[in-house]
């Protein structure tokens, strides 16, 4: 049913549609409205669920780890420092192969303190072994949340649904909120093969010696790669029910033969799309929306860039001392192409800085330049820095 | 002399035919004489099979769960060092949501409880989850190789609080964890020791029956870290009680409601002498003598603070509680 | 995207300018249009000047950049007039609606096509017995601009209020609407559309 | 090679496949040790074994265990000097178990309930054995021979059986009814009793040998040990045993006002008390031994039963401990006093000898001195006597220590020796079990509890014919039995099973002797907690082979 609804409230309702039995959370802006929404649904008896208001994000993720291991569908949401505080547990959940879903309301990381959006928080969690799906708008956030539970439970891997903080979480827009029947048709009741059960006592969380640790890591790696099939299946199956796709692992929008492409991730895709419409004079440009950061869609990326000669990678995080995070990965994958595109890697929109429509012509212009931009923060104003810090 | 071996069961079969349920099996990798291994098994005996255990990182975790083997007969999960109470909270919430009556127990060492997991524990207690948290207190980070924790007693030597020209072991006091636990006003908290299994089991049963959060601190000697003969684990634990060093208490809603009386109070040196970690206190230097006296005063303070002496012997005092007789323990 | 209208609502933390922005977006939805509303994000606490934004369009709104040059600015509190650049970025053909008990001279905003004042708080106090200017302000805004039919706005209020509360609010809508000159900003809207 | 599980989970209790037993340097081993009460018992009883049964309320079983060694518990429970109690480890903790009270209770209960000895009648063609002397040694030998499947004919010079029990023990210690009923029951097991047959007068050894393939001689002693002080012997000297026998048979004693009895054994005490009951004004008892009590080594203490000594003191007997008689003060050949001197037993080149200390002499005025220092030995060697095949000697005739229980033990050993002889078996070489010491127990697991006190007749009510020590109730007796430390013998307390950190002490069905645990050597790491915490010292740590 279409309705104007704030992103966080919509995600809360999407979570509720998945009938979680345990939600644990600790407040951090901009994640708070999601958990407030769930608390409200529970208070109004629209959701039967144990809400644990824990004393830290560390305990939030730990508690839902326990809950999922004990046989309940479980969920949490967090942001920024909260995600970072969870770091140790995030690795642990993935290693234990426990199906969990977490919303990351993306936010910058201090210091300096910034309460505003970027994607540094989830990007530094890239290597935790979680599936990471990024949402371009709140409809995707709703649909991906529902996908996420099925993907997690079928793959026995945790899924992080990333949505830009404020830009999505605090924005009211019109969304088609699925019905309970649709959700139930898509998502079977929770089942975890290794549930903690006195009738069949298992020991979870063992010590593994060098004899088998490598194999354990390999198995996790393979599980993430194989999860691509479940991510695709979820999107397809949900499309049959809802009529909407979230863009598989990666989606391409624009002329097939465009030799310029912009690859980005998250909510900036819409701005880029509108900007492209405003600037037909800049020629045909393909927009590549990266949805699945992990597993990284290698084949899809290669296919999308086969005919591209100039690829701009725009991201909202960076690896200080290295450059971009997505950019180098893209560059590595596309180096396998027969004739790889030139890849221009930009970061923008850090710590809440607006990414305006005007970024688009700048990006295209940079792509046309003689020199490849290996990495740059496109919206930096170095005049604001002391000379020695430039 | 006929050996009972001549009866119908092989030893291997006997493991499955013990009259009490034992949730922790043989074949674990604990040091010889480990107090914690004993404590954990006693705990599982008192709880029975219908339980889920969340275990913090530490010796107990490592020596019971080296893949592909496990020593546990109950469902058991280890996640991390500092999150066992949170994991247990989640398990409890899940069971509640599912309408399952299975008990939830969290286990940790003193490092995981007094130090790194204290926040998580505080959260679990404050939310009053129906979980029994049991800390096996061996008074240092033994798993890492004997390093001081906030539970390490004053003046005890560890690898990170060595004694030397400028130091007499740990400079600080043992953290009064029970007072912190008590401040959460939970329904039940207690201390116990592996030296008094019947008392320990009774407290585990009490803690598990209580609706809401319960906490149990179990003094568990570590032959490696304390530097005593493995055969003396029980002896040393008993002396900790009989000297007043480790008071055996029960607390309800933050108030101490029972304190095990010491029938014959022993001097603290009786407890310290068998332990290598206090060896430096016996070198007859003025500093050593001061510290010995300090430890005696700490014990005396406990005795005064918790009124650990009585005019009359009591059935469950330090002598009565471990009385055995023909056919079993008196209070089992 | 051609008909995109961008609005900024200036208020103080706690005065409900985000609620106002969401109500405006909901009214657009009731009118079968697309809308996007979001607050400004900052560490400001209750009482500090804060902004909220609304985009309204006949087509889906994709862009999520900030609104830097709104067509309209709604000022919830006359004290905000002392905030420097309170109407920063407003388009010359746009309009400023100010909640003020006394008429604010348009001359304070030279070069801006429309400047209108309305004693929304006083009206609310009289009708609702509460000093909440939102309902009156938005009714006046929609009357001035005819961006969305008042009927759509009233449906939003009907979701939000019931019984006597609804009646009073609808009464307030009527009073505020009749206080301003219907369609007098329309010019600006057309200009934007072009 | 195992296959890695998803999330690296493990199945429960799979660590049993890991044999941690090879970590072990020492292994625990169950090893029964003798309780001191058993090693100290001259009769060969194992008090701990029957006390265990009493503790479990199995009185009949306890009695049957008891009479496997000693057929006369109602008697020994009264008259034995109970070295078992002196050895009892509980004495080092609080007070020894009142073993004699338990023994007497069982004996009395058997008499009251008419329990039969748990023995089978020998087969009709079983060999015949002659036993000479129906004192405790002879009675015991006869009984143990019957138990071993031999027919027994018992000869005695006296018209009634009992020997010294009848002739020397005052009735206030051993009521005649108890003696009669106990002896009657014993004879009823199939013994042919031939009274008034004195060996050498009514029947000769050769005659016996002709009729019986086995002969046991336990005629007791008739001659007192020669006694003199520097060659002086009073003309009217009588020995203590002599006077006791006389009193037991005719109920009268010579008239004395003040006497000095010399000796620290039961005969001396018995006689001293009888004399007090008979009105002798001053009864002095002079012994180089010490009064038993704390700090006194058992070997330095008077050999008389401590409770008898205590009662004698209550009754006014004056005991001069650590004293000896240096000189008799004579008027003519009549004693008028004794010179008493401080004495102590000291080691002299490995032998203990009493030494008198010059300058410590005092004079005690008495009108008679009575030596009660034991009887003269008739034979010096155990086993086959007189080098006659098939003839064995025992009892007081073989220096059995002059105690009733010693004689009973001697009778039992003789029965075994005779059996071995008749069946052509080698002589039994019993390896004595090491007796467990107090410090080998872990007494943390026991609570202090006072020993039962049997009721005693008030001193003013005491007389020679009324039993002084009263009976105890069954509840009291069972309670007392539960004080037993069960030294060296498993009592199924569960300590080892409870306290093993490696689950390597396993409980199994209980064996006959109360042992209920096995070690799982596949997993035991040899920490030694079980051994250290075993209250009874039943577990030893031994080096791995």
Residue D260 located in a structural domain: yes
What residues does each domain of chain A span? 2-242, 250-389
Q: Which residue in the block uniquely carries the two structure tokens 């009233």?
A: C154
| In the predicted structure, residue D345 carries a pLDDT above the cut 80 | no
Quote the CA–CA distance of D487 and D436 in Å, as a whole number. Answer: 7
pLDDT class for D264, splitting at 50, 70, 90?
Answer: confident
> In the prediction, which pLDDT does C27 show?
97
Same structural domain, D256 and D354 = yes
Contact B102 A198 (CB under 8 A): yes
| In the predicted structure, residue D235 carries a pLDDT above the cut 90 | no
Average pLDDT of chain D is 87
pLDDT class for D396, splitting at 50, 70, 90?
Answer: low
Please state the pTM of the whole predicted model.
0.89
B chain contacts of residue D94, beta-carbon cutoff 8 Å: none
Overall average pLDDT of the C171-192 stretch: 81
One DSSP character per residue, D37-69 reads: HHHH-TT---HHHHHHHHHTT-HHHHHHHHHTT
Q: Are chains C and A in contact at 3+ CB pairs closer than 8 Å? A: yes
Using CA atoms, how far residue B315 sits from A6, A227, B262, B263, B324, in Å, is 66, 63, 11, 10, 12
Q: A11 vs chain C: nearest CA distance in angstroms?
A: 16
Overall average pLDDT of the A266-274 stretch: 97
> In the prediction, which pLDDT does C193 show?
44
User: Nearest Cβ partner of D9 from A194, A215, A219?
Assistant: A194
D chain contacts of residue A215, beta-carbon cutoff 8 Å: 4
> In this predicted structure, which of A57-71, B25-39, D73-87, D248-262 has the lowest mean pLDDT?
D248-262
> In the prediction, which pLDDT does D228 show?
75
> In the prediction, which pLDDT does D502 show?
97
> In the prediction, which pLDDT does A313 show?
98
CATH code of the domain occupying B15-321: 3.40.50.970
Overall average pLDDT of the D377-389 stretch: 48
> In the prediction, which pLDDT does D8 show?
96
Domain enclosing residue C11, as ranges? 5-193
A250-389, what's its fold? Rossmann fold (3.40.50)
Q: Which of A70, A76, A199 to mutate to test the interface with B (most CBs of B within 10 A)?
A: A70
pLDDT class for C192, splitting at 50, 70, 90?
Answer: very low
DSSP-derived 3-state class of residue D524: coil
Same structural domain, D405 and D508 = no
Q: Which residue has the higher pLDDT, D152 or D390?
A: D152
Contact D10 A206 (CB under 8 A): yes
Residue of A nearest to D2 (CA): A212
User: Nearest Cβ partner of D8 from A98, A193, A216?
Assistant: A216
> Chain A neighbours among B 262-281 (CB < 8 Å)?
none
Q: Which residue has the higher pLDDT, A341 or D413?
A: A341
Q: Which residue has the higher pLDDT, D233 or A202?
A: A202
Quote the CA–CA distance of A1 and A178 in Å, as a whole number. Answer: 6
Quote the crossing angle between the two packed helices D59-67 and D47-55, to the nearest 10°.
Answer: 170
- Give kind and range of the element (H or E) at residue D249: helix D240-250
Average pLDDT of chain A is 97
pLDDT class for B1, splitting at 50, 70, 90?
Answer: very low
Evaluate whether D138 touches D165 at the Cβ level (below 8 Å).
Answer: no
| In the predicted structure, residue D276 carries a pLDDT above the cut 50 | yes
Question: Does B62 contact A at CB distance below 8 Å?
Answer: yes
Contact B197 D499 (CB under 8 A): yes
> In this predicted structure, which of A296-305, C22-31, D354-363 has the lowest mean pLDDT?
D354-363
Give the Cβ contact number of residue B326 at 10 Å.
Answer: 18
Contact D30 B69 (CB under 8 A): no
Contact C37 A171 (CB under 8 A): yes
* Rg (chain D; Cα; Å): 27
Same structural domain, D356 and D295 = yes
Nearest CA-CA partner of A271 in A351, A162, A164: A164
Strand partners, B47: none
Contact B26 D52 (CB under 8 A): no
Which tokens go with A354? 């607006």
> In the prediction, which pLDDT does A124 show?
97
Q: Which residue has the higher pLDDT, D338 or B87?
A: B87
pLDDT class for D398, splitting at 50, 70, 90?
Answer: low
Q: Which of D486, D496, D498 to mutate to test the interface with B (most CBs of B within 10 A)?
A: D498
Same structural domain, D255 and D359 = yes
Question: Does A209 contact D at CB distance below 8 Å?
Answer: no
pLDDT class for D377, splitting at 50, 70, 90?
Answer: very low
> In this predicted structure, which of A122-136, C1-15, D18-32 has the lowest mean pLDDT?
C1-15
| In the predicted structure, residue B3 carries a pLDDT above the cut 60 | no
Overall average pLDDT of the C168-179 stretch: 96
What residues does each domain of chain B span? 15-321
Omega cis (within 30) before D544: no
CA D37, chain centre distance (Å): 8
Give the Cβ contact number of residue A132 at 10 Å.
Answer: 24
Which tokens go with D322? 């650590």
> In this predicted structure, which of B60-69, B225-234, D319-328 has the lowest mean pLDDT?
D319-328
| In the predicted structure, residue C10 carries a pLDDT above the cut 50 | yes
Express each pLDDT in A205-252 by its tens digit.
999 999 999 999 999 999 999 999 999 999 999 999 999 999 999 999
| In the predicted structure, residue B184 carries a pLDDT above the cut 80 | yes
> Chain A neighbours among B 89-108 (CB < 8 Å)?
89-98, 102
Q: Which residue has the higher pLDDT, A332 or D393?
A: A332
Split into its structural domains, chain D has a count of: 4
Find the CATH number of the domain harbouring C55: 3.40.920.10
> In the prediction, which pLDDT does B247 show?
98
Express each pLDDT in A137-168 by its tens digit.
999 999 999 999 999 999 999 999 999 999 99
Same structural domain, D198 and D299 = no
pLDDT class for D540, splitting at 50, 70, 90?
Answer: very high
Overall average pLDDT of the B138-157 stretch: 97
pLDDT class for D222, splitting at 50, 70, 90?
Answer: low
Average pLDDT of chain B is 95
> In the prediction, which pLDDT does B297 show?
97
Q: Which residue has the higher pLDDT, B326 or D55?
A: D55
| In the predicted structure, residue D109 carries a pLDDT above the cut 70 | yes
Q: Which residue has the higher pLDDT, D288 or D439?
A: D439
Fold matches, A2-242 and A250-389: yes
Quote ipTM for the complex. 0.92
Report the DSSP pairing between strands D334-348 and D362-365.
antiparallel
Average pLDDT of chain C is 90
Question: Does C27 contact A at CB distance below 8 Å?
Answer: no
Q: What percent of chain D has pLDDT over 70?
A: 93
Q: A100 vs chain D: nearest CA distance in angstroms?
A: 14
B chain contacts of residue A203, beta-carbon cutoff 8 Å: 64-65, 70, 72, 75-77
Same structural domain, D401 and D503 = no
Same structural domain, D245 and D308 = yes
Residue pairs between chains A and B whose CB atoms are closer than 8 Å: 164
| In the predicted structure, residue C194 carries a pLDDT above the cut 50 | no
Residues in chain B, overall count: 332
Strand partners, D355: D344
pLDDT class for D401, splitting at 50, 70, 90?
Answer: low
Which tokens go with C186? 């329309």
Quote the CA–CA distance of B230 and B236 in Å, as a whole number. Answer: 10
Residue D434 located in a structural domain: no
Nearest CA-CA partner of A357 in C69, D506, B79, D300: C69
Report the DSSP pairing between strands C72-75 and A2-6.
unpaired
Overall average pLDDT of the B162-183 stretch: 95
> In the prediction, which pLDDT does D350 show?
72
Question: Does C35 contact A at CB distance below 8 Å?
Answer: yes
A chain contacts of residue B79, beta-carbon cutoff 8 Å: 62, 65-66, 89, 92, 96, 205
User: Nearest Cβ partner of C64 from A167, A277, A278?
Assistant: A167
Cα(first)–Cα(last) distance of chain B, in Å?
29
Q: What percent of chain B has pLDDT over 70?
A: 96
Overall average pLDDT of the B252-265 stretch: 96
Domain enclosing residue D157, as ranges? 128-223+386-422
pLDDT class for C187, splitting at 50, 70, 90?
Answer: low
> Chain B neighbours among A 18-57 (CB < 8 Å)?
21-22, 24, 48-50, 52-56
Contact B326 D482 (CB under 8 A): yes
- Give kind and range of the element (H or E) at residue D283: strand D282-287
A chain contacts of residue B85, beta-carbon cutoff 8 Å: 59
Which value, to the nearest 10 degrees, does the dihedral of the CA atoms of residues A355, A361, A362, A363 take? 80
Question: Does B67 contact D at CB distance below 8 Å?
Answer: yes
Evaluate whether A61 touches A89 at the Cβ level (below 8 Å).
Answer: yes
| In the predicted structure, residue C189 carries a pLDDT above the cut 70 | no
Of A377-386, D225-234, D352-361, the range with the highest mean pLDDT is A377-386
* Backbone φ and ψ of D359, nearest 5°: 90, 5
| In the predicted structure, residue D384 carries a pLDDT above the cut 50 | no
Contact C63 A271 (CB under 8 A): yes
> What 3 state SS string does chain A have?
CEEEEEHHHHHHHHHHHCCCCEEEECCCCCCHHHHHHHHHHHHCCCCCCEEEECCCHHHHHHHHHHHHHCCCCEEEEECHHHHHHCHHHHHHHHHHCCCCEEEEEECCCCCCCCCCCCCHHHHCCHHHCCEEEECCCHHHHHHHHHHHHHHHHHHCCCEEEEEECCCCCCCEEEEECCCHHHHHHHCCCCCCCCCCCCCCCEEECCECCHHHHHHHHHHHHHHHHHHHHHHHHHHHHHHHHHCCCCCCCEEEECCCCCCEEEEECCCHHHHHHHHHHHCHHHCCEEEEEECEEECCCHHHHHHHCCCCCEEEEEECCCECCCECCHHHHHHHHHCCCCCCCEEEEEECCHHHCCCCCCHHHHHHHHHHCCCCCCCEECCCCHHHCCHHHC
Q: Which of C65, C89, C156 to mutate to test the interface with A (most CBs of A within 10 A)?
A: C65
Split into its structural domains, chain C has a count of: 1
Express each pLDDT in C120-158 by its tens digit.
999 999 999 999 999 999 999 999 999 999 999 999 999
Express each pLDDT in A300-346 by its tens digit.
999 999 999 999 999 999 999 999 999 999 999 999 999 999 999 99
Class for domain A2-242, per CATH?
alpha beta
* Rg (chain A; Cα; Å): 21
Nearest CA-CA partner of A312 in A353, A269, A256: A269
Question: Does A66 contact B at CB distance below 8 Å?
Answer: yes
């Amino acid at each position: 049913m279409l309705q104007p609804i704030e992103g966080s409230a919509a995600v809360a309702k999407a979570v509720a549609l998945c009938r979680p039995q345990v939600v644990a959370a600790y407040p951090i802006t901009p994640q708070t409205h999601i958990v407030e929404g769930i608390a409200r649904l529970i208070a109004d008896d629209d959701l039967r669920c144990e809400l644990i208001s824990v004393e830290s994000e560390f305990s939030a993720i730990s508690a839902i780890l326990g809950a999922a291991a004990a046989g309940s569908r479980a969920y949490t949401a967090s942001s920024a420092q909260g995600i970072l505080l969870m770091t140790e547990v995030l690795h642990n959940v993935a290693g234990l192969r426990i199906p969990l879903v977490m919303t990351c309301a993306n936010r910058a990381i201090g210091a300096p303190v910034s309460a505003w959006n970027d994607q540094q928080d989830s990007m530094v969690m890239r290597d935790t072994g979680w599936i990471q799906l990024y949402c371009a708008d709140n409809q995707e956030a709703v649909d991906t949340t529902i996908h996420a539970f099925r993907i997690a439970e079928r793959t026995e891997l945790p899924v992080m649904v990333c949505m830009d903080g404020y830009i999505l979480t605090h924005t009211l827009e019109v969304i088609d909120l699925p019905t309970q029947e649709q959700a139930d048709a898509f998502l079977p009741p929770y089942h975890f093969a290794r549930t903690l059960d006195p009738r069949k006592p298992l020991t979870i969380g063992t010590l593994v010696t060098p004899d088998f640790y490598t194999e354990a890591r390999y198995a996790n790696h393979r599980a993430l790669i194989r999860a691509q099939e479940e991510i695709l299946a979820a999107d397809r199956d949900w499309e049959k029910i809802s009529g909407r796709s979230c863009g598989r692992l990666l989606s391409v929008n624009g002329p097939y033969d465009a030799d310029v492409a912009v690859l980005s991730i998250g909510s900036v895709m819409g701005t880029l799309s509108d900007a492209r419409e405003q600037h037909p004079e800049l020629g045909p440009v393909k927009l590549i929306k990266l949805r699945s950061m992990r597993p990284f869609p290698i084949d899809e990326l290669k296919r999308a860039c086969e005919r591209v000669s100039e690829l701009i990678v725009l991201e909202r995080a960076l690896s200080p001392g290295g450059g971009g995070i997505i950019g180098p990965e893209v560059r590595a994958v596309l180096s396998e192409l027969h004739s790889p595109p030139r890849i221009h890697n930009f970061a923008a929109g850090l710590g809440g800085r607006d990414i305006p429509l005007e970024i688009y012509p700048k990006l295209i212009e940079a792509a046309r330049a003689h020199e490849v931009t290996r990495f740059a923060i496109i919206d930096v104003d170095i005049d604001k820095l002391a000379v020695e810090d430039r | 002399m006929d050996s009972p071996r001549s009866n119908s069961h092989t030893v291997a079969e006997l493991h499955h035919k013990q009259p009490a349920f034992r949730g922790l099996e043989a074949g674990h990798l604990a040091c010889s004489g480990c107090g914690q291994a004993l404590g954990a098994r006693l705990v599982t005996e008192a709880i029975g099979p219908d339980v889920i255990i969340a275990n913090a990182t530490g010796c107990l975790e490592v020596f019971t769960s080296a893949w592909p083997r496990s020593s546990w007969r109950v469902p058991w999960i280890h996640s991390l060092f500092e999150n066992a109470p949170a994991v247990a909270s989640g398990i409890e919430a899940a069971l509640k949501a599912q309408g399952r009556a299975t008990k939830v127990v969290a286990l940790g060492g003193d490092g995981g409880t007094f130090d790194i997991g204290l926040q998580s524990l505080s959260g679990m207690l404050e939310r009053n989850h129906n979980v029994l948290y049991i800390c096996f207190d061996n008074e240092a980070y033994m798993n890492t190789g004997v390093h001081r924790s906030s539970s390490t007693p004053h003046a005890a030597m560890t690898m990170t609080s060595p004694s030397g020209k400028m130091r007499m072991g740990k400079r600080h006091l043992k953290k009064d964890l029970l007072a912190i636990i008590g401040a959460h006003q939970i329904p039940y908290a207690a201390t116990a020791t592996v030296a008094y299994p019947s008392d320990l089991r009774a407290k585990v049963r009490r803690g598990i029956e209580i609706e809401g959060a319960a906490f149990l601190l179990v003094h568990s000697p570590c032959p490696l870290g304390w530097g005593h003969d493995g055969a003396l684990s029980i002896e040393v634990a008993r002396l900790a009680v009989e000297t007043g060093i480790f008071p055996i208490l029960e607390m309800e809603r933050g108030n101490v409601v029972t304190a095990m009386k010491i029938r014959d109070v022993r001097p603290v040196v009786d407890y310290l002498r068998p332990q290598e970690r206090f060896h430096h206190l016996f070198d007859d230097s003025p500093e050593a003598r001061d510290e010995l006296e300090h430890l005696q005063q700490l014990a005396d303070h406990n005795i005064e603070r918790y009124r650990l002496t009585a005019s009359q012997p009591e059935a469950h005092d330090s002598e009565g509680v471990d009385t055995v007789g023909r056919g079993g323990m008196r209070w089992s | 995207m051609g008909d995109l209208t961008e609005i900024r609502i200036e208020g103080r933390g706690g005065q409900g300018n985000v609620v106002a922005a969401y109500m405006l977006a909901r009214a657009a939805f009731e009118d079968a249009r697309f809308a996007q509303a979001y607050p400004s994000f900052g560490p400001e606490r209750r009482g500090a000047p804060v902004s909220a934004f609304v985009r309204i369009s006949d087509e889906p709104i994709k862009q999520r950049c900030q609104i830097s040059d709104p067509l309209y600015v709604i000022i919830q509190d006359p004290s905000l007039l002392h905030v420097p650049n309170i109407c920063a970025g407003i388009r010359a053909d746009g309009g400023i609606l100010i909640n003020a008990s006394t008429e604010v001279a348009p001359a304070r905003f030279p070069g801006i096509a429309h400047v209108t004042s309305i004693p929304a708080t006083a009206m609310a106090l009289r009708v609702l017995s509460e000093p909440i200017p939102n309902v009156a302000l938005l009714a006046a805004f929609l009357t001035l601009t005819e961006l969305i039919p008042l009927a759509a706005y009233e449906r939003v209020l009907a979701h939000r209020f019931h019984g006597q509360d609804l009646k009073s609010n609808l009464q307030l809508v009527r009073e505020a609407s009749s206080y301003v000159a219907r369609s007098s900003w329309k010019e600006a809207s057309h200009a934007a559309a072009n | 090679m195992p296959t890695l599980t998803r999330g690296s989970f493990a199945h429960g209790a799979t660590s049993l496949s890991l044999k941690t037993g090879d970590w072990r340097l020492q292994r625990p081993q169950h090893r029964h040790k003798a309780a001191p009460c058993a090693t100290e018992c001259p009769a060969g009883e194992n008090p701990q074994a029957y006390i265990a049964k009493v503790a479990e309320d199995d009185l009949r079983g306890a009695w049957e265990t008891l009479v496997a060694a000693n057929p006369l518990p109602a008697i020994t429970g009264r008259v034995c000097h109970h070295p078992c109690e002196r050895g009892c480890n509980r004495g080092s903790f609080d007070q020894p178990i009142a073993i004699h009270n338990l023994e007497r209770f069982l004996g009395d209960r058997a008499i009251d309930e008419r329990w039969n000895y748990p023995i089978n009648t020998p087969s009709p063609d079983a060999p015949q054995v002659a036993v000479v002397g129906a004192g405790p040694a002879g009675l015991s030998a006869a009984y143990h021979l019957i138990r071993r499947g031999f027919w027994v004919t018992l000869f005695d010079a006296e018209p009634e059986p009992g020997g010294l029990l009848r002739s020397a023990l005052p009735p206030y210690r051993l009521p005649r009814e108890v003696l009669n009923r106990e002896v009657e029951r014993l004879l009823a097991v199939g013994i042919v009793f031939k009274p008034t047959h004195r060996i050498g007068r009514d029947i000769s050894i050769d005659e016996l040998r002709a009729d019986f393939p086995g002969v046991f001689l336990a005629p007791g002693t008739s001659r007192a040990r020669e006694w003199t002080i520097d060659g002086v012997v009073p003309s009217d000297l009588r020995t203590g045993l002599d006077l006791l026998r006389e009193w037991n048979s005719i109920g009268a004693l010579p008239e004395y006002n003040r006497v000095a009895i010399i000796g620290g054994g039961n005969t001396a005490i018995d006689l001293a008390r009888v004399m007090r009951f008979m009105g002798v004004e001053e009864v002095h008892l002079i012994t180089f031994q010490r009064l038993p009590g704390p700090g006194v080594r058992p070997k330095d203490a008077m050999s008389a039963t401590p409770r008898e000594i205590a009662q004698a003191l209550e009754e006014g007997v004056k005991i001069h401990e650590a004293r000896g008689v240096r000189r008799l003060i004579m008027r003519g050949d009549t004693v008028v006093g004794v010179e008493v001197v401080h004495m102590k037993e000291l080691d002299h080149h490995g032998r203990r000898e009493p030494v008198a200390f010059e300058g410590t002499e005092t004079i005690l005025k008495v009108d008679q001195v009575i030596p009660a220092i034991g009887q003269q030995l008739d034979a010096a060697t155990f086993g086959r006597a007189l080098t006659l095949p098939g003839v064995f000697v025992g009892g007081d005739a073989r220096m059995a220590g002059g105690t009733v229980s010693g004689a009973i033990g001697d009778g039992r050993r003789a029965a075994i020796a005779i059996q071995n002889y008749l069946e052509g078996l080698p002589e039994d070489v019993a390896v004595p079990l090491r007796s467990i010491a107090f410090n080998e127990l872990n007494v943390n697991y026991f609570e202090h509890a006072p020993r039962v006190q049997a009721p005693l007749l008030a001193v003013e009510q005491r007389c020679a014919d009324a039993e002084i020590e009263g009976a105890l109730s069954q509840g009291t007796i069972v309670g007392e039995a539960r004080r037993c430390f069960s030294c060296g013998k498993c009592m199924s307390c569960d300590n080892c099973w409870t306290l093993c950190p490696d689950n390597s002490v396993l409980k199994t069905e209980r064996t006959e002797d109360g042992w209920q645990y096995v070690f799982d050597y596949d997993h035991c790491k040899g920490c030694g907690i079980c051994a250290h915490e075993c209250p009874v010292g039943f577990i030893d740590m031994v080096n791995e082979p």
